[in-house]
Structure 1
């Protein structure tokens, strides 16, 4: 099973047919993805289930429905075990961004965290779950596939928000502050923290 977010509402890819309650089900192979996105945005549905036959092909089939944007990002920890957050578009988020040609996804993740926050000396410690969300750019819907990595650094200098990317704040947040920030964040970020 996979979850793709449209805002904070999930599209769930599954092979299981369930009784509809506060969600609707569609067949993945014949779904009109535009109608699904519109339904989630304009109704009080809590989710949409897209049903396929083969669990190994669900994601591959879904990713063919819209153009994909590949991104890398990081959940970075400092020596005090605080997590690095950015504040953009009135929401707390983790730093991430689009992959450049000929760049490994790990290189993308480190570069983006560095560019968006000013933090240096990052080392990847392990991969985290990949997240998927649908967004609209220039009138067209796309699927952002973000590969996430846990990172560590001993960086103690000044944090520098990348203003050109709309980032207004960068902060190291302890566990309590992280939980508070997640109240004003995105569903796919809450999965990671």
Structure 2
């Protein structure tokens, strides 16, 4: 698969790439010469339906670096956790289904941060941390400044963790193990970023 950067802004996905992957459909291509990030961001904020925009350029890495310099960078980590019943761990926060994740503390290793956040948010113990899945990039505003959140995602496994405890102080009101047959419920009420992460499992 060609190397790409996927950047999420609410319901919008902006893809920077050299070669458009074959599995991406129904997208609008934007010329790199016409692209102005600030203008694009303001436009994307107003859109309330999912849409994919693609910038295809040999200089896509440089374009991404320039975008990143214009924002505050926050690093986070999380997990796609599977149990012995082949079910996956989801949290319900701010009215939507999500995957457990959180900010990396100063000096903390990324993988260890991912495990810590999953354990804290769901009240479980992770027994095995597997391969890194990917990095995702999400742009939002905080104190009237644009923030780019880079989240590193890892596969994780655990067994006999049936008592789930949502971390209420983080706004999590429910934690559940869900099988592939339950994922439509999640996809209908989640973020594009999460839909992309769980697409390989159902």
TM-score bucket of the superposed structures, by smaller chain: 0.7 to 0.9
1:49 deviation in Å? Answer: 3.9
Q: Which residue of 1 aligns with 2:7?
A: 4
TM-score, normalised relative to structure 1: 0.86
Match of 1:183 among 176, 181, 188: 188
TM-score, normalised relative to structure 2: 0.83
Unmatched runs of 5 consecutive residues or more in structure 2: 21-25
Match of 2:44 among 34, 40, 43: 40
Unmatched runs of 5 consecutive residues or more in structure 1: none
* Secondary structure, counterpart of 2:185 in structure 1: helix
Match of 2:115 among 85, 97, 110: 110
The 2-side partners of 1:39 and 1:80 are apart by 43
1:59 deviation in Å? Answer: 3.4
Query: Between Structure 1 and Structure 2, how many residues are aligned?
Result: 189
* Secondary structure, counterpart of 1:57 in structure 2: helix
Summarize deviations over 1:92-142 as a string: whole Å, max 9, x none: 000000000111100110000001000113321111021111112222221
The 2-side partners of 1:16 and 1:97 are apart by 32
Change (3 A) 1:22 1:120: closer
The 1-side partners of 2:71 and 2:39 are apart by 13
Change (3 A) 1:26 1:141: farther
CA RMSD, Structure 1 to Structure 2 (Å): 2.5
Change (3 A) 1:50 1:61: farther
